[in-house]
């Protein structure tokens, strides 16, 4: 079953932004500095670049997939 990259793109970016903000919020609330790593998905959602996509070669955030 193939994943429609355009549909995934519409979901992926806002999800990464919300996830990043949630992790940062938890870090502020609990004082645990590890949750500040939420900056990574937050910036990935804003900028449109994902470090995991660069490593794996498959990117849903730009709407492109290597299998196409």
Q: How many helices (H) and strands (E) does the chain have?
A: 3, 0
* Domain assignments of the chain as residue spans, ordered by start: 5-48
Mean pLDDT of 37-62: 77
32: tokens are 């645990």
Question: How far from 61 is each of 28, 41, 65, 68, CA to CA, in Å?
Answer: 27, 11, 9, 15
HSE, CB side, 13 Å, CA atoms: give it for residue 5.
11
pTM score: 0.66
Q: Which of 36, 40, 14 is nearest to 25 (CA)?
A: 36
Note the pLDDT tens digit of each residue in 19-44: 999 999 999 999 998 988 999 889 88
């Amino acid at each position: 079953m193939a994943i429609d990259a355009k549909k995934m793109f519409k979901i992926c970016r806002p999800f990464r932004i919300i996830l990043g903000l949630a992790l940062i919020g938890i870090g502020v609330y609990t004082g645990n500095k590890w949750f500040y790593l939420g900056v990574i998905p937050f910036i990935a959602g804003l900028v449109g670049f994902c470090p995991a996509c660069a490593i794996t070669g498959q990117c849903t955030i730009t709407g492109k997939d290597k299998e196409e």
